[in-house]
């Protein structure tokens, strides 16, 4: 019997969209949305979403219902999806995940003493940029204003169709985890000027 632990939430409009997609499947009323973390790409998790019979959920999986949509979270993905949400953003389904796939970063060891800008710079240099370098991209600090960080995304991230998702789901999570005083991360890149965008 799967657990009824609520791991992630699904907004009403996202559930409506997913139910609309499910209607095209045979045996639609018996199907649940299954979600699992399949790996890591840069600073983001990668996911697999599919429809499975709700009765096929494993004993260690999470099975909950959101706005009439049964959702199964694979047992091995529960920790990495805890607190996540499936939402509709800019007309498309998206996953907001407060968890980061990046290894824990000891900011205190990297920066003994420094203001917020110095600490953010350390996170960028030691944690974020090495992760997004595989995409040919990098993040530069444009400024810090109280609890808000402003970034320029360069290299392969300039003009990237997934740059906003990378910012909100990866870089922002990593910065907030390392520096809890930061509550907002804003991309100020001129993406229209990107000359060599990397599309995921």
Question: How many other CB atoms sit within 10 Å of the CB of residue 196?
Answer: 10
CA distances from 125 to 105, 118, 128 (A): 11, 11, 6
Q: What is the pTM of this model?
A: 0.60
pLDDT of residue 123: 86
Question: How many other CB atoms sit within 10 Å of the CB of residue 129?
Answer: 18
Model confidence over 111-137: pLDDT tens digits? 546 788 888 888 888 878 887 776 667
Structural domains of the chain, ranges and CATH numbers in brackets: 9-96 (2.60.300.12), 107-193 (3.30.300.130)
Residue 157 — pLDDT band, cuts 50, 70, 90?
A: very low
Model confidence over 34-47: pLDDT tens digits? 999 888 776 678 88
- pLDDT at residue 53 above 90? yes
Strand order from edge to edge, sheet including 137-145: 137-145, 148-155, 184-187
């Amino acid at each position: 019997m799967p657990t009824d632990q609520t791991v992630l939430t699904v907004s009403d409009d996202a559930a409506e969209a997913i139910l609309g997609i499910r209607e095209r499947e045979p045996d639609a009323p018996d199907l649940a949305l299954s979600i699992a973390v399949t790996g890591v790409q840069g600073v983001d998790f990668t996911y697999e979403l599919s429809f499975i019979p709700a009765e096929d959920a494993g004993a260690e999986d999470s099975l909950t219902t959101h706005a009439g949509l049964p959702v199964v979270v694979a047992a091995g993905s529960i920790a990495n999806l805890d607190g996540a949400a499936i939402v509709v953003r800019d007309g498309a389904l998206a996953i907001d995940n407060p968890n980061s796939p990046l290894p824990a970063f000891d900011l205190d060891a990297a920066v003994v003493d420094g203001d917020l800008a110095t600490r953010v710079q350390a996170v960028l240099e030691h944690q974020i940029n090495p992760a997004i370098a595989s995409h040919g991209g990098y993040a530069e600090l444009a400024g810090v204003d109280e609890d808000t960080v402003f970034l320029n995304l360069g290299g392969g991230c300039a003009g990237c169709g997934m740059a906003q998702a990378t910012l909100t789901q990866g870089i922002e999570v990593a910065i907030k985890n390392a520096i809890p005083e930061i509550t907002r991360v804003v991309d100020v890149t001129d993406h229209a000027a990107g000359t060599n965008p990397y599309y995921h």
